[in-house]
Amino acid sequence: MHRMHLRAQTMASLRMFLVVGMMMMIIMHSPMVIVGDKIGIGVCYGMVANNLPSATDVISLYKKYNIGKLRLFDPNPDALEALKGSGIDVALGLKNEDIPSIATSTEGAESWFTTNVLPYLSNITFSFISVGNEAIPGEFANDVAPAMSNLQAVLNDHNLNGITVTTAVATMVLGVSYPPSAGQFSPETKGALADVLSFLSIKGSPLMANVYPYFAYASDPDQVRLDYALFTAKDPVVVDGNLSYHNLFDATVDSFYWAMEKQGVNNVGVAVSESGWPSAGNGGFTTPELASTYNRNFMQHVLNMGGTPKRPGAYIEGFIFAMFNENQKPSGIEQNWGLFYPNMQPVYAVF
């Protein structure tokens, strides 16, 4: 009986070991990373439309699909009111046209902060404040870094060092992006970006980048493979020295890392402030199936937290563009980036 009891205990222990092991394998290989009860991915809330749901309904939609992060391109009061108490982390944008007044003085930065951030601090978690969107290059390019510094000074005065100040740039700031190790910023952006990167390096904060493999593929499908753009390539497509690339997303992000290193900065990460794939507007290049494939794989790639070939394991924040199709944008692909129609029905399945 004693031996039978021991054998029963041993079998029970073995079964428990196997169950725990299987659970660990499921967790380790799950395509979703859950933060609390929310998916740790962001979605951009664009508003260039006249037929969108109310902000309250939009935030309810984020919550329905457990979307844990949201990017606002400007401090829209209705959206901020709706976000109160939602538990959704907010990356807040600052309009490009507001950059000069904030760059001029800390008083200008304090005024913007007092109007657009301070009233919501007790009810909203702000993860980022982005000083402009794709303001470099452009008429406000040289004001971006001073505006970042003044805004940071205001946050410091309010003991809000947990909010990251940065700016968002397009991949067009890269004068060279292929191969990734040749990545460097274009001559017209190097000056403004040098000051931005100096600020980010001191703070240890990431540069936001809008990364769209779609555009590279659609502009040159003979040279850019679809599976390379969609994260579906089984084997390396690009070999750059001792680094192998299965997808264009990683290659683009690593081009930013190399470009920053050529500027003497090696401790600044990349947060992907926009990425996505249009579901219509350009024939066979833009279908709901392609858009679904890209966004699902982008989401999984970010949530797996594997980094890139150049910086394996480096955390990359990610935001899908965008929540809705926006009918006041130029016709064609620009109106078809949304995960949802304005009636809040999915364009295709992602979550």
pLDDT in tens, 34-48: 445 788 999 999 999
The β-bridge relationship of strands 125-133 and 164-170 is: parallel
> 229-262: string of b/e by CB count within 10 Å (b at 16+)?
bbbebeeebbebeebebbbbbbbbbbbbbbbbbe
Q: Is the peptide bond preceding residue 179 cis, with omega within 30 degrees of 0?
A: yes
Under the banding of pLDDT at 50, 70 and 90, the label for residue 335 is very high
Give, for 271, the enclosing helix (H) or strand (E).
strand 270-275
One-letter amino acid for residue 105 of the chain:
S
Q: Is 107 a catalytic residue?
A: no
214-269 pLDDT, tens digit each: 999 999 999 999 999 999 999 999 999 999 999 999 999 999 999 999 999 999 99
> 73-92: string of b/e by CB count within 10 Å (b at 16+)?
bbbbeebbebbeebebbbbb
Q: Is the peptide bond preceding residue 322 cis, with omega within 30 degrees of 0?
A: yes
Q: Is 134 a catalytic residue?
A: yes
> 288-326: string of b/e by CB count within 10 Å (b at 16+)?
bebbbbbbbbbbbbbbeeebbbbbeeeebbbbbbbbbbb
Residues contacting 101, CB < 8 A, separation 6+: 108, 111, 112
161 with 122: CB under 8 angstroms? no
User: Which among 68, 66, 78 is positioned nearest to 127, based on CA atoms?
Assistant: 68
Under the banding of pLDDT at 50, 70 and 90, the label for residue 30 is very low
Question: What distance in Å separates the CA atoms of residue 347 and residue 232, rounded to the nearest whole number?
Answer: 21
- Give the number of other CB atoms < 10 A from CB of residue 62: 22
Which of the following is catalytic: 81, 107, 110, 134?
134
One-letter amino acid for residue 142 of the chain:
N
Tell me the two tokens of residue 328.
């006041």
Question: What distance in Å separates the CA atoms of residue 273 and residue 166, rounded to the nearest whole number?
Answer: 11
- CA 292 remoteness from chain centre: 17
115-168 pLDDT, tens digit each: 999 999 999 999 999 999 999 999 999 999 999 999 999 999 999 999 999 999
pLDDT of 29 higher than 50: no
Provide the pLDDT for residue 203: 95
Homologous superfamily, domain 36-340? Glycosidases (3.20.20.80)
Provide the pLDDT for residue 37: 72
pLDDT of 83 higher than 60: yes
Average pLDDT for the chain: 91
Residues contacting 153, CB < 8 A, separation 6+: 106, 109
Which of the following is catalytic: 97, 139, 188, 274?
274
- Write the burial class of residue 174 (CB in 10 Å: 0-12 exposed, 13-18 middle, 19+ buried): buried
Coil vs helix vs strand at 245: strand
Residue 165 zone, left/alpha/beta (φ > 0; ψ -120 to 50; rest):
beta
Q: What angle do CA 123, 102, 168 make, to 5 degrees?
A: 70
What does the domain layout of the chain look like in residue ranges?
36-340
Provide the pLDDT for residue 36: 53
231 with 297: CB under 8 angstroms? yes
Question: What distance in Å separates the CA atoms of residue 69 and residue 44, rounded to the nearest whole number?
Answer: 9
Tell me the two tokens of residue 245.
């690339």
One-letter amino acid for residue 322 of the chain:
A
342 with 49: CB under 8 angstroms? yes
- Give the number of other CB atoms < 10 A from CB of residue 332: 12
pTM of the shown model: 0.89
